[in-house]
Structure 1
Amino acid sequence: MTDDVAAARAAAEEKSVFSHAPVDPDATAAYGDHPDQVIDFYAPRGERGPGGPAPVVVVLHGGVWRAPYDRRHISPFAGFVARHGFAVASVEYRRGGDDDSVAGRWPDTLDDVAAALDALPAFVRELLPRADPRRTVLTGHSAGGHLALWGAARHVLPAGSPWRTDVPAALRGVVALAPIADFAIADKLDVCGGGVRQFLGGDEH
């Protein structure tokens, strides 16, 4: 595949992703003071099984950790999952600068994901009364897939890490969709225009 063909295919895929109208959540809650420190909640539509509490799907959007790509672009997916009987929590987090030249903020992006996941059970009990926080699955796409894997593995972070938890996250599973999972390989391949190195704060980290 030539570079021109690959670029055209990527552009067509991005256009398709952003062609869907955003779906408004049923509720939004802030887990911090920054405008991006919020979680959108979608109540389950219809009934599952005998009508008991619905499982919770926590969504972490992708977009190379860059500012233009926020949770709105994944809201059609969140709405779709809710229409199929699941409760959904779509997490926003701080990303790069105002344009698409910088990926992520070190360490703010990880601070936000950790804080959001820690706050989530209480929010679910308050805002999604038909949901069962004991049956939670974490999912994300691309950069969000990385964040989902990272969020589920905080208990294995080095001792002294501010994000480390003493016990594994209370999750039924993790679904990482096309995650940026191997940073060394992604950096070597210059995935998303050097996004991994930018996300880690350049050569300083």
Structure 2
Amino acid sequence: MELADIPYTAAAADRQRQLDVYAPPSAVHAVPRPPLVVFLHGGAWRAEDKAEHRQLALNLVAATGFAVAVPNYRLTPRDPPDDDHFRHPGHAEDALHALSFLVAWQGPSAAGPFYDPSRLYLIGHSCSAHMLSSIFLDSKAVSPSLTPPPELVQSVKGIVLSEGIYDLDLLLADFPDYLQWFIRPTFGTRESYTPFSTTTFPLIATHIKWLIIHSKGDTLVNLPQSEAIYRHLVDLNGNEASARVYRNTDNLSAEHNDIFLAQDYAHIVKEFILNCGAV
């Protein structure tokens, strides 16, 4: 089953605030209802569309047997003339609205939802890894609009962050051209972007498990980004880190988005979800 272009805000006609849902036939009448997987795409806060990730969603459905939602979110315009345009935290606010919608949504008919809204597993790729870690770590000191409601926090059981951006100043030290390409348009003109680096944010929930994925073949975002967020999450979780924080930096070797082309990515996600206790 595929449901396309479901609006998650009152702006029903805005494609950038719509989502698609994919579900196996078994999910429709399953008892108990299965969890929901949500995939947020990358694209440097300025590109990509949910439809481009249809095959990945189908791979995740096939691997897990669970429904998969793929939201869009509004994008920063290419080459904006100044700082007066759509930018951070707007993209992550849209993602937060999409997640809150999915927790409350009653499905396409009066039959009710075909997934358990109290069991969500989230995937953020590239810039969306920054978005999810800005929402589910405590960023309220810099972005109070990204504070998630308690019912959403409790619903999220696991978060996968793949090929992610987390420490913006570290990223610019390694890729200085990214400043003009997407960091300045997304976060504005600043001497330092440390306030937006999610490797500084506190923990807001101890029940959420985390998986950090990074491909050895990624040339667009390098491994130090994933190492930084992994160390931060380990430090935050203290003695419980071995049971809450995982990483996979050895099994994938394709380029940044090419990791989705094979089945390996979906199976890594599946194993993590099962390790979180989902059945």
Instruction: Give the TM-score of the pair, scaled to structure 1.
Output: 0.72
Say yes or no: does 1:116 pair with 2:98: yes
Summarize the alignment of residues 40-79 of structure 1 with structure 2, pairs less than 5 Å apart: 40-46=20-26, 52-67=32-47, 69-79=48-58
Question: Which string of whole-angstrom CA distances, capped at 9 and with x for unpartnered residues, describes residues 178-203 of structure 1?
Answer: 11111221122236732233221233
Shift of 1:159: 8.5
**Alpha carbons of 1:86 and 1:160: their partners in 2 closer, same or farther (altered >3 Å)?**
closer
Q: Deviations over 1:152-172 (max 9, x none)?
A: 22x552288122246371211
Moved more, 77-86 or 105-114: 105-114
Q: Assess, with a 3 A threshold, how the Cα gap between structure 1 residues 137 and 180 changes in structure 2: closer, same or farther.
A: same
Tell me if 1:186 matches 2:171.
yes
C-alpha displacement of 1:45: 4.4
Quote the residue 1:92 is aligned against: 72
Shift of 1:51: 6.0
1:146 pairs with 2:126:
no
Q: Is it true that 1:29 corresponds to 2:10 in the alignment? A: no
CA distance in 2, matches of 1:89, 1:190: 32
Give the number of the structure whose residues are more often helix, by fraction: 2
**Conserved 8 A contact 1:142-1:179:** yes
Output the CA distance in 1 between the equivalents of 2:68 and 2:42: 16
Deviation at 1:151, TM superposition (A): 2.8
How has the CA–CA distance of structure 1 residues 51 and 192 changed in structure 2, closer, same or farther, with 3 Å as cutoff? farther
- Asked whether the equivalents of residues 107 and 114 of structure 2 are also in contact (C-alpha less than 8 Å), the reply is no
- Structure 2 residues not aligned, in runs of 5+: 81-85, 194-279
Unpaired runs of 5+ residues, structure 1, are 1-23
Counterpart Cα distance in 2 of 1:144 and 1:159: 18
For residues 36-95 of structure 1, give each alpha carbon's deviation from its aligned partner in whole angstroms, at most 9, with x where no partner exists: 111111113447xx863221111100111113x112222211111123311111111011
In the other structure, the counterpart of 2:211 is: none
Question: 2:157 aligned with 1:177, yes or no?
Answer: no
Q: Which amino acid aligns with 1:31?
A: Y
Rounded Cα–Cα distance in structure 2 between residues aligned with 1:138 and 1:164: 16
* Aligned positions, number: 175
Partners of 1:199 and 1:42 lie apart in 2 by 30
Distance change in 2, residues 1:136/1:35 (3 Å): same
RMSD: 3.0
Kindly indicate whether the alpha-carbon contact (under 8 Å) linking 1:45 and 1:83 is maintained by their aligned counterparts in 2.
Answer: no
Conserved 8 A contact 1:63-1:142 = yes
Higher-RCO chain (CA-CA 8 Å, sequence separation at least 6): 1
Question: For 1:152 and 1:188, how far apart are their aligned partners in 2?
Answer: 26
**Given the two structures, how large is their TM-score scaled by the length of structure 2?**
0.54
SS of 1:132's equivalent in the other structure is coil
Distance in 1 (alpha carbons) for counterparts of 2:184 and 2:49:
20
Q: CA deviation at 1:134?
A: 1.3
- For residues 87 and 106 of structure 1, what CA distance do their matches in structure 2 show? 29
